[in-house]
Amino acid sequence: MTRCRAALLALLTMVALSPAASPAASPAVAAHADEGPEQIVNGTFDAGTAPWWGTPDLTLAVDEGRLCADVPGGTANPWDVIIGQDGIPLVAGETYAYRFAASATPAKVGRALIQLPVDPWTQYLSAAPELSVSGDDYSYTFTAPVSLPNAQVVFQLGGSAEPWRFCMDDVSLKGGAEPEEYEPDTGPRVRVNMVGYLPAGPKKATVVTTATTALEWELKDAGKKTVARGRTTPRGVDASSGENVHTLDFSAHRKPGKGYTVTADGETSRPFDIAAGLYDELPVDALRFYYTQRSGIEILDTLRPGYGRPAGHAGVAPNQGDVDVPCQPGVCDYTLNVKGGWYDAGDHGKYVVNGGISVHQLMSAYERNKAAFTDGQLAIPESGNGVPDVLDEARWEQEFLLSMQVPDGEPYAGMAHHKIHDQNWTGLPLLPHQDPQPRELHPPSTAATLNLAATAAQAARLFAPYDAAFAARNIEAAHRAWAAAKANPERYADPADGVGGGAYNDADVSDEFYWAAAELFITTGEKEFETFVLGSPHHTGDVWRDRGFDWGNTAQLGRLELATVPNTIPDRGRVRRSVIEGADKYLAVQKAHPYGLPYNPPDFDWGSNNLVLNNLVVVATAYDLTGREKYRAAVREGMDYLLGRNALNQSYVTGYGEVASKNQHSHWYARQLDPALPNLPRGTLAGGPNSAIQDPVAQRLLQGCKPQFCYIDDIESWATNELTINWNAPLAWVGAFLADGGGRSGCRVRYSGHGSWPGGFIAQVVIENTGRQSVDGWSLRWSWLGGQRVKEGWGVKLAQSGSVVTATGLGWNDRIKPGRSVTFGFAGTGGAGPDPAPEVFHLNGERCS
């Protein structure tokens, strides 16, 4: 099954992975040219079944000239049932044509592999033919990367709940074939955001053309009426796609409407809308993804029609469950109940370091604009409990992270186990509740421990208004984890620990130390953490990587938190300026890129789409800090790439756009392999172009690809088309930014304290109308850091929900003329930690200076 990011990076020298690492599916293709001698012995079965062999659960027989076998049901993995032939010679650099005829009763998806016959079972060809009852002919080509005297041809037939019958004939493997040429269908040469554009935002498209001089373009409405026209700007050859391109800009057209198209160079784009509410559903869909990723709980079909399934890894056979999980041999002599949390990606593993950044970004999206997230918004089992759904969803993962902490009295107490997953790899498809593999806790790591410290510190302040006991539990765990990490600063995850799950190894945890210290300082205000933050090289260094931040590069999270969450770090002004400098860096990259990308390394990384989004998080934060329109416009333009304005002319978000990813690598969203299973939920982000193309399908079809073309929407391409919890997290964050509009109103707010005492304080607020229009009736909204509460007010009506406070004018002061102000005050009670003044105020829904 999937090899997660870190594990695969250690295997770049391999052509593919073991049979446990997902055989790859692809369309059948024709072989060509003058072919060499036949490599398969008795491929027509005229001489019986020898030298073909089967696993012990099969009886091979010739039936009407075909080899047939009754395949038993109830197996978990494709490789549990195999028919094969050994001793197949391969020559390095030779291109082979592989053909066979096959049928299945009832219809099934099989696995056809040519591979190394011993561990690590490296696959040189991996295909997933759809086998029909009537039978079909299949044809594939591949180029052998090595010379081998004894390759193995196998058909993997396991993984079916019910028994079925497999037959095959005319199996042939010959050299001398023409190399396969894969040409993606990129549609019209005018590339747009297929979802659409905001009326007041930038509206740009990219045109692929051989022309080197400006071209005429036309914008047409749904009735084919031309509503705008202009000339393109030639941009030359784009290195990320290898294409000669122009850009065109129709930003001046602001009229809302559906079904717009752009025509240039004789090509017409796919349709798109112009609408103010274009992104309203995106953050909700991106967050709803997490419910169906949950482990340890039944997924209710009433909440997610078509996605219901039994609880996975809850200790119900055939699961061995996550309720009493032992360590790997030699790691510990205790067991832990680590039920719950989110499955990391398309597999059944759960990883603290990837869970850490994911749950942080969900909580960060909430912390940025708490009023945008409500109870009942996500339709999850906890909806209606009085807590914003995004916090309920985050808590599901945070509870799991807490459960991974080493108990008191044990070696490395307070540290966090790095991960928990199956003892061995499993194949696709395999629903979580059907996984029979033993589960294991892996050794504690400093990186995991610091992720726990950071997220627990953040959770402590966010849950304080809703569940004081849970908040206290988190801050206690954060302190324990911090102390344990300081005592064990160099316990790194083993890069070789990649069997059954990804290694997620990281040999530099100085960035995790910085992030954890920042979160602990913000929540507690304690001097130890302030001192650590100020002494870290990450505090003043340039952390804004061209390739963006991710689970292994987390200093940026600390910097962003210190810049945006109220705190008293002494050099906070410099911290904020550094975020703006980072945003300007990404703006320069975006301006130079003809597809409007704020990410442009010479080779695209695994999960490049997530890195694009994280760069947009930095740019969006600069907008929050400055209110400068150029940053908001850059975020809007950056989203265009993910929704269709790219070289492949497709959206990478399931359900968004006319042509969108739908076959992301997953064990249970596996409709491509089993029609009874669903495709991905709407709002799921595909990993995106990855120049390293580590999986067999990508290696077979994408050799020599330019960065933007290193992607294929195939369930077996786990290197380019995986889903993960840490990729949907920035999608939700940026989606929320785009949905809230982020407009600035003509107002300024001054907040000042007039005295405090243990447990209480008095504050005064002045609202100044800096606009040209009178404010007739006002409502001012802000939020506290943690558990503070407003009490008695004067000159105002006060209400509070969680940490969000709403102040409304009274009859005699609810009008503010231009250039005038209104003043009110109140008394409040403090939370458990610092009581910094709020910094973000919204007047009648729009943000003030």
For strands 419-422 and 350-351, give the pairing.
antiparallel
pLDDT band (50, 70, 90) for residue 353: very high
What integer is the mean pLDDT of 719-742? 95
Instruction: Name the amino acid, one letter, at 808.
Output: T
User: Structure tokens of 422?
Assistant: 């199956």
Pairwise CA distance, residues 405 & 399, whole Å: 11
Task: Please enumerate in sequence order all residues whose Cβ is within 8 A of that of 493, keeping only pairs 6 or more positions apart, or say none.
Answer: 6, 353, 418, 419, 442, 443, 445, 447, 448, 503, 504, 505, 506
What integer is the mean pLDDT of 753-760? 79
> Poorest-confidence range of 390-399, 552-561, 610-619, 833-842?
833-842
Strand partners, 244: 237
Question: How high is the pLDDT of residue 28?
Answer: 36
Decide if pLDDT at 20 tops 80.
Answer: no
Whether 183 is catalytic: no
Is the dihedral angle over the CA atoms 714, 720, 725, 730 positive or is it negative? Answer: negative
Q: How many residues does the chain have?
A: 849
For strands 272-274 and 196-197, give the pairing.
parallel
Is the backbone peptide bond immediately before 730 cis, with ω within 30 degrees of 0?
Answer: no
What integer is the mean pLDDT of 780-803? 94
Convert the pLDDT of each residue in 555-614 to its tens digit.
999 999 999 999 999 999 999 999 999 999 999 999 999 999 999 999 999 999 999 999
User: Structure tokens of 703?
Assistant: 């050799």
Question: How high is the pLDDT of residue 295?
Answer: 98
Pairwise CA distance, residues 279 & 735, whole Å: 6
Q: Which among 458, 582, 574 has a CA at the least distance from the CA of 516? A: 458
What integer is the mean pLDDT of 283-307? 98
Convert the pLDDT of each residue in 408-458 to its tens digit.
999 999 999 999 999 998 888 999 999 999 999 999 999 999 999 999 999
Element containing residue 258 per DSSP (H, E): strand 257-264
Contact assessment for residue 607 and residue 614, using Cβ atoms and an 8 Å cutoff: no
Convert the pLDDT of each residue in 194-219 to its tens digit.
999 999 999 999 999 999 999 999 99
> Poorest-confidence range of 348-357, 713-722, 757-766?
757-766
DSSP 552-594: TB-HHHHHHHHHHS----TTHHHHHHHHHHHHHHHHHHHHH-T
Pairwise CA distance, residues 649 & 193, whole Å: 9
**3-class SS of residue 134:** coil
Question: How high is the pLDDT of residue 120?
Answer: 78
Whether 347 is catalytic: yes
pTM: 0.90
User: Structure tokens of 758?
Assistant: 């243990």
Pairwise CA distance, residues 159 & 22, whole Å: 12
Pairwise CA distance, residues 237 & 266, whole Å: 20
Pairwise CA distance, residues 344 & 293, whole Å: 8
Q: Which of 80, 243, 347, 835 is catalytic?
A: 347
Please report which residue ranges of 67-139 form alpha helices under DSSP H. Answer: none
pLDDT band (50, 70, 90) for residue 835: confident
Question: How high is the pLDDT of residue 23?
Answer: 30
Decide if pLDDT at 347 tops 90.
Answer: yes
Q: Which of 169, 561, 722, 768 is catalytic?
A: 722
Q: Which of 433, 665, 667, 842 is catalytic?
A: 665
**3-class SS of residue 292:** helix
**3-class SS of residue 615:** helix
Decide if pLDDT at 4 tops 70.
Answer: no
Q: Which residue has the tokens 């849950």?
A: 463
What integer is the mean pLDDT of 727-750? 91
555 by Cβ neighbours in 10 Å (0-12 / 13-18 / 19+) ranks as: buried
Residues 377-404 as b/e (b if ≥16 CB within 10 A, e otherwise) read bbebebbeeebbbbbbbbbbbbbbbbbb
**3-class SS of residue 459:** helix
Contact assessment for residue 558 and residue 604, using Cβ atoms and an 8 Å cutoff: no
Decide if pLDDT at 171 tops 70.
Answer: yes
What integer is the mean pLDDT of 293-304? 98
Residue 751: C-alpha distances to residues 802, 823, 826 (Å)? 20, 10, 11
Instruction: Name the amino acid, one letter, at 236.
Output: G
Contact assessment for residue 721 and residue 712, using Cβ atoms and an 8 Å cutoff: yes
Q: Which of 322, 713, 740, 835 is catalytic?
A: 713
Is the backbone peptide bond immediately before 594 cis, with ω within 30 degrees of 0?
Answer: no
pLDDT band (50, 70, 90) for residue 673: confident
237 by Cβ neighbours in 10 Å (0-12 / 13-18 / 19+) ranks as: exposed
Task: Please enumerate in sequence order all residues whose Cβ is within 8 A of that of 262, keeping only pairs 6 or more positions apart, or say none.
Answer: 190, 192, 205, 217, 218, 219, 220, 248, 250, 268, 269
Whether 665 is catalytic: yes
Question: How high is the pLDDT of residue 428?
Answer: 86
**Torsion of the alpha carbons at 608, 613, 616 and 618, rounded to the nearest 10:** -90
Convert the pLDDT of each residue in 468-482 to its tens digit.
999 999 999 999 999
What integer is the mean pLDDT of 508-533? 98
Helix, strand, coil fractions of the chain, as percent rounded to 5: 25, 25, 50
Question: How high is the pLDDT of residue 742?
Answer: 66
Q: Which among 842, 657, 682, 634 has a CA at the least distance from the CA of 283? A: 682
The mean pLDDT of the chain is 93
User: Structure tokens of 423?
Assistant: 């003892």
Q: What angle, rounded to 10 degrees, do the helices at 510-524 and 527-535 form?
A: 140
> Poorest-confidence range of 259-268, 381-390, 747-756?
747-756
Decide if pLDDT at 30 tops 90.
Answer: no
> Poorest-confidence range of 15-29, 293-307, 804-818?
15-29
Residue 764: C-alpha distances to residues 38, 752, 796, 821, 849 (Å)? 88, 5, 11, 13, 17
